[in-house]
Chain A
Amino acid sequence: MTKKPNELTIVEAAAALRARSLTVRELWDACYAAAQEKNPELNAFLEIFPADERAIEAAQIRVDTDKESAPLLCGIPLAIKDNILIEGHIASAASKMLGNYRATYDATVIKKLKEQNALFVGRTNMDEFAMGSSTEHSAYGVTKNPHDTSRVPGGSSGGSAAAVAAHLCIAALGTDTGGSIRQPAALTGLAGLKSTYGAVSRSGAIALGSSLDQIGPLAKTVEDARILYEAIRGADPLDSTTITDGLYPAREVPENLRIGVPRHLLGEGVDSGVLAALDATLKRLTEAGHTLVDIELPTSSHALASYYVIMPAEASTNLARLDGIRYGHAPRGKTLLDDYVLSRTEGFGEETRRRILLGTFVLSSGYIDAYYRKADAARAVLRREYNDAFQKVDVIAFPTTLSPAFKFGEKGDPLSLYLEDIFTVTANLTGMPAISVPMGTVERDGKKLPVGIHFTAPHQAEEILFTIGRAVENSR
């Protein structure tokens, strides 16, 4: 059975374009038609862009002229999370606050993709300002999981994940502050990468937690994720937190990897089906020649608490700029203070307001020592524990999530939804790169739901993640 053009991977589509068995126009039309057909049900896209005839033509000309030397993303239709700026398009971060905000410039990652002649299918739904793990907190309705539409796609990059998983585009960009790429990737059966802090420029990304945020790929294969990551990474004068190659000590990528497994984190709360899939995957990896090493990461049990102090603190600071004065939602009251308060009260959704209040609390005098400074100290210890562990292993493995995708409304109280991030937040706190790769399915109500295995590598050792990720794919 041959795949439809929209079902291809980046590698397959790029090969087909070069072999002239497919034109850029046909590839675009296939993605666009699939998006138009499926989006009313899935709500993966907040907006599907009309065909950009000039961009399609330019991509075709480049493939025809440059052939093999054309960039792999030339003519490839991608989906972009709604918190990444594309000049001239709305970038709302799925908030009413920015519902009328039209980007005045391209994010650096968009500039890089345009230089490769990539195409943009549309902007994808997300939890408002990337606050959430289910895409239930969008101001524009929930996104549904293509594997079971009664379930969430994960979040906050749930729209990007659903768009790729349902083949409404070839691959997508998301952002990851505490797991927002890796968790939806796991729940929709994709590869999702959060790179080393500073590897990818955030110029033009709407900030959530500035010491945590990274832009990254959601893709159908590990190789596609690598291609997209290579296209967007690099130091950028417009983001002074970006890093240059070789900032951290180089790590070899041995043929047989030592995989650290912190068994002590896999007790309570992890679904038995997820554990079975993890064990089966690890077993296949050892059969392929890799070795398992028991490791201890004792401070990991406090990582989530630290994260839910640091992230709201940074979020409340970042979102202070949105006040209805220069752009965005701007109702008017009697006084200038009314203007601020009305804009923020009407513009922000419930979860955003909750996190702003939480951030204001942990930063307030009398509590900053007990919460924020303690969380920051725990973060430093966590980073040291990981660095120590990487003295004896190449990569650390655990499941990406506790369970497969849950049903809408199932995690109604905020704390139970926050627990969804328990495995993913450490990579953001330590700044280390991490990837989620599909590791099979768990059955629920007669439906097969994907689950993911999560690998963390030392700073700037993304290559190790791609190697182990491909090993998981090849072992299936």
Chain B
Amino acid sequence: MATTEEVKKLAALARITVGKAELEKFTAEFDAILAYVGQLEKLDLPQGKGGEKPALRNVMRADGEPHTALAYTEKLSEQFPSREGDALSVKQIITHD
């Protein structure tokens, strides 16, 4: 059973604010969803077969020439919510007080 406290904590971890009404709705829905996916807890997988992984492959890439410097700078910085020249401008997080 999920509690509103748990859901609130998850929301904080996920950097989301959930309003009071929505918190109760989400908690109730969580219970239904977790009850459904909870069938996995009871799933009895064949001995020794549970940890099987699909065949894994290493994908390596040779070091090559990087793209030309500044080729994408303007395009990317156009998307910045706030910029100073080509730099992304964010709030100061370290103060000297």
Contact = CB atoms under 8 A, between A and B. Distances in A.
A378 to B, nearest CB: 6
A361 B3 CA distance: 12
Contacts of A268: none
A111 B20 CA distance: 46
B85 interface: no
B40 A344 contact: no
Contact of A357 (B11, B46, B82, B91): B11
B27 to A, nearest CB: 10
Contacts of B96: none
A348 B54 CA distance: 33
B14 A375 contact: no
B14 A104 contact: no
Contact of A377 (B14, B51, B61): B51
Given A378-B40, A415-B32, A356 B16 contact: yes
Given A240-B61, A302-B39, A378-B40, A360 B13 contact: yes
A337 B15 CA distance: 8
Interface stretch (A63-71, A220-228, A380-388): A380-388
Given A305-B40, A374-B41, A348 B16 contact: yes
B14 A356 contact: yes
Among B30, B40, B45, B76, max chain A CB count under 10 A is at B40
Interface size class of B (residues with CB under 8 A): 35 or more
A330 to B, nearest CB: 4
Interface residues of A, number: 56
Contacts of B81: 324-327, 330
Mostly, the A contact residues are helix
Decide if the interface of chain B is mainly helix, strand, loop or mixed.
Answer: loop
A247 B59 CA distance: 13
B36 A341 contact: no
A364 B79 contact: no
A309 B75 contact: no
A308 interface: yes
A431 B54 CA distance: 10
Interface string B64-97: 0000000010011011111000001011010000
Given A325-B81, A354-B29, A336 B93 contact: yes
Contacts of A383: 52, 54
A357 B33 contact: no
A309 B18 contact: no
Contact of B7 (A104, A308, A326, A357): A357
A21 interface: no
Nearest to B88: A326
A104 B43 contact: no
Interface of B: 2, 6-7, 10-11, 13-18, 22, 26, 29-30, 32-34, 36-41, 43, 45-46, 49-54, 57, 59, 61, 72, 75-76, 78-82, 88, 90-91, 93
Given A237-B61, A302-B43, A381-B52, 7 more contacts: A241-B59, A316-B14, A341-B15, A344-B16, A357-B7, A362-B37, A377-B52
